């Protein structure tokens, strides 16, 4: 399996029919997920051990300062908003009492589909069921401000990206279930959250498949030969059967194994912290740190999403979804 496929995934585009048939724009994005799309929620969690509000994160972000993104710059949530002509949806915890008519980001570093994922290690994160609860509060405020009919129309046109599952897979070893039972439970639990979002007015979903995270620097670090973790990758493939491999050199990435920011072998012995080293050639690295993509990787990731290619998006393209 090619290393680069860690971030070039299949997207499951779901649309639940309603009364709108002509082409529509996207008025807002409501983002759910983990550190791949967290734009700063975890820095508002005082006890969280997984934070990205310290150097060298943000070195390539406008202003050059850490923002809470697990990246050297922007992440996929930023580039998705740019493609749709929107500003990046703010982190929910930065202003939890807002109405968020233009969208909001609930994603949290370390979060999983399951409530128990990482709770014994990271101490504080926002698992997907809690993110759904936060959206329920936002939904109440939208209805109060816009009225029931207008709020429903607004949400039916909005986009709901869901980027989550990797942390659950990484923590599979703590489960008493078989691999297939674990994957089945992940799928069924995710479906319940999607049903909950649908019940609150969401109609257009962009569900991102999990990557073969066994090829991330942290997982390779555990091998004396820097090979991918086959067991973790097998779980990823079972969870996302549509995932296909890709060639990293096609997109100009020369370093596909090592992280850019960190210390030790593959820069994966120590994560990206103020005492870590970071590379100068960040644009040709797939990974920024032990698990997360560089800004360049995230940008290319979203470009492919909008390339109108059915190789990566099913059952309809993102352009078709937006136009519904």
- Rounded alpha-carbon distances, angstroms, from residue 166 to 169, 218, 235, 250, 267: 5, 13, 10, 25, 20
Cβ neighbours around 284 below 10 Å, total: 17
Full DSSP string of 74-92 = --HHHHHHHHTT-PPPPBG
Residues 227, 231, 235, 241, CA torsion sign: positive
Angle, CA 234 vertex, CA 232 and CA 237 arms, to 5°: 115
- Mapped onto helix, strand or coil, the DSSP state of residue 291 is coil
Q: Which residues pair with 14 in a beta bridge?
A: 205
User: The tokens of 55 are what?
Assistant: 């150097």
Residue with tokens 């049903």: 195
User: Quick check: is 285 catalytic?
Assistant: no
Helix (H) or strand (E) holding 182: helix 179-199
**Strand ranges (DSSP E) for the chain?**
11-15, 29-33, 103-105, 159-163, 204-208, 255-259, 261-262, 277-278, 285-287, 313-314
d(CA 67, CA 31): 17
Residues 277, 278, 280, 284, CA torsion sign: positive
What would you measure as the largest C-alpha separation in the chain, in angstroms? Answer: 60
* Candidates 44, 285, 292, 299; catalytic one: 292
* Candidates 34, 38, 78, 289; catalytic one: 289
* Candidates 5, 35, 71, 108; catalytic one: 35
* Local structure of residue 235 (DSSP, 8 states): H
Rg (CA), the chain: 19
User: Quick check: is 292 catalytic?
Assistant: yes
User: Quick check: is 309 catalytic?
Assistant: no
Residue with tokens 């069921």: 129
Enumerate the active-site residues: 35, 289, 292
């Amino acid at each position: 399996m090619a290393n680069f496929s860690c971030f070039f995934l299949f997207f499951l585009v779901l649309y639940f029919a309603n009364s709108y048939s002509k082409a529509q724009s996207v008025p807002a994005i409501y983002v759910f997920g983990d550190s791949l799309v967290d734009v700063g929620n975890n820095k508002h969690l005082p006890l969280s051990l997984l934070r990205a509000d310290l150097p060298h994160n943000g070195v390539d972000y406008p202003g050059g300062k850490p923002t809470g993104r697990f990246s050297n710059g922007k992440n996929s949530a930023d580039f998705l908003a740019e493609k749709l002509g929107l500003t990046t949806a703010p982190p929910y915890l930065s202003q939890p009492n807002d109405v968020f008519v233009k969208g909001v980001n609930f994603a949290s570093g370390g979060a999983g589909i399951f409530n128990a994922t990482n709770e014994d290690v990271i101490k504080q994160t926002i698992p997907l069921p809690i993110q759904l609860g936060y959206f329920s509060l936002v939904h109440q405020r939208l209805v109060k401000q816009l009225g029931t009919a207008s709020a429903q129309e607004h949400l039916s046109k909005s986009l709901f990206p869901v980027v989550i599952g990797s942390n659950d897979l990484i923590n599979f070893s703590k489960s008493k279930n078989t691999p297939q039972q674990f994957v089945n439970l992940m799928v069924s639990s995710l479906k319940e959250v999607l049903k909950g979002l649908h019940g609150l007015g969401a109609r257009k979903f962009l569900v991102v498949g999990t990557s073969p995270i066994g090829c991330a620097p942290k997982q390779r670090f555990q091998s004396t030969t820097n090979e991918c973790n086959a067991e973790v990758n097998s779980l990823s493939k079972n969870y996302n059967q549509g995932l296909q491999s890709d060639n990293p050199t096609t997109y100009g990435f020369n370093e596909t194994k090592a992280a850019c920011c960190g210390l030790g072998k593959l820069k994966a012995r120590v994560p990206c912290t103020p005492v870590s080293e970071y590379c100068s050639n960040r644009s040709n690295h797939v990974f920024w740190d032990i698990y997360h993509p560089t800004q360049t990787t995230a940008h290319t990731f979203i470009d492919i999403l909008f390339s109108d290619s059915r190789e990566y998006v099913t059952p309809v393209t993102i352009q078709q979804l937006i136009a519904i």
